[in-house]
Chains A and B, each alone.
Chain A
């Protein structure tokens, strides 16, 4: 891990209320340092996805401040949101791949739309597909791939612009057990290269095994936080 000690993500007493009165996040404060691997856990509906959405500014907080890489997102103008997202890679449970484009085209597409020249986009596509181990499948279409492979394509796409922050929202949600572990290995590798990774999951086994900085949410509140043994708090499920 690199650059420890510099804050990458900070939430200051953040609440998110969806009208009329659904409280998704309730007064949550947390801090993630550069280069960390962080789990956000909790049962479904605990506010994990909402928390990630605040980070890539798909939602704004009802209250409190969200700071990503030194930028206060509540002060971010609408036309600056795309530039924020170029510094954040994100993957989801449902992969979000274009079904009628090949693996290579899916990756190139995401570079093209932010204005990267063809030549650079192709070069970068090969690099990231190699990184996720799918260079052989470059010309396949997503439906021809397994769930694990599709998720790796979406990781390749998220990494294409070399983001310093990587968000994963239940990335193993649609995967079987062994694919899930492969995926976690891949995320670990990405993290080892210095990228901050925040992963929302309800797989307690994964969280337990990795022993990382873990934030536990329950009905929108932060109920527990374990930081790699640094904190005195104990994990509730260290069992």
Chain B
């Protein structure tokens, strides 16, 4: 036999992180191509799941804006009998503001009520000119700490003899909040189901890849490749599916937001209902992060099985 190798250690140059990451991406790409149609299915399911989650987030954001807009306006008007004196008013005001449910109490005199009315009727003030006396009652404007407390406040107001009539619009707000809560629970359940199916599909894709490469994995372990070295291409593959899926979901989420803007803005006589730009950016970031996280964790769990013996 000819020339024999030099005695150990064989002088080798160990390679750096650039070559390592290049290899991770090369292997990842090879795995994805080998998985073929299955890779496409993975990306599609990830995209659909994340899209549904994204739509839910957008709707939730709009609903929050809507509730918030109503909440701002919730107030209880307690109209006072004309017999009520100034000292009674001061006494009532102090009494009501002390209730734990109450945020603030403002007294609106007959004159102030008329001024408000005149302002609202700007341009048509002459309709009021025929009035001899001010027909508007004085009132206490009560703002509850939160809209659900309005009913409790109203029932307490009813037993006060000086209060003539009560008007409030809190019921719609509490119904809206109840609806928003149901909607949120429903959204979480549906999103969770889709996220789970994405998880299953991604992990079986990675398991298939790893299974196909079992001989290589076995040899890599035998000659002393580190577990990280073996694992990273698979994790990269999982992240790839999740991230591309998320990107596709985002492509659909952005126009979805414009649709929401048009349809919801018609409802919104209050304030802006459709989510603003920063919220949409937030949704995109959440989808991207969730996609890559799902891919990475699913891949890691699948490939771990092949690394243990």
Contact = CB atoms under 8 A, between A and B. Distances in A.
Interface of A: 56, 58, 78-79, 82-86, 90, 96, 98-99, 109-117, 119-121, 124, 127-128, 130-131, 133, 157-164, 189, 193-194
Interface stretch (B145-153, B173-181, B222-230): B222-230
Interface stretch (B10-18, B133-141, B239-247): B10-18
B222 A96 contact: yes
A133 B4 CA distance: 11
A114 B4 contact: no
Contact of A124 (B1, B2, B10, B23): B10
Interface in B1-51: 1-5, 7-15, 19-20, 23
Nearest to B218: A96
A209 B1 CA distance: 22
A-B complex: 10 closest residue pairs judged by Cβ atoms: A85-B224, A86-B224, A113-B225, A162-B8, A110-B223, A82-B224, A117-B13, A162-B10, A120-B12, A115-B14
A86 B8 contact: no
A161 B19 CA distance: 20
21 contacts: A82-B224, A82-B225, A98-B215, A109-B219, A117-B13, A117-B14, A117-B15, A117-B19, A120-B10, A120-B11, A121-B12, A124-B10, A124-B12, A127-B3, A131-B5, A133-B1, A160-B223, A164-B8, A193-B4, A193-B7, A194-B7
Output the residue of B13, B20, B227 with the most chain A CB within 10 A: B13
Contacts of B229: 113, 115
Given A121-B12, A194-B7, 9 more contacts: A82-B221, A82-B227, A90-B222, A96-B215, A110-B219, A113-B230, A116-B12, A128-B5, A162-B10
Given A98-B216, A116-B12, A85 B222 contact: yes
A121 B223 CA distance: 14
Contacts of B9: 162
B13 to A, nearest CB: 4
Output the residue of B1, B223, B229 with the most chain A CB within 10 A: B223
Nearest to B216: A98
A111 B224 CA distance: 9
B228 to A, nearest CB: 9
B309 interface: yes
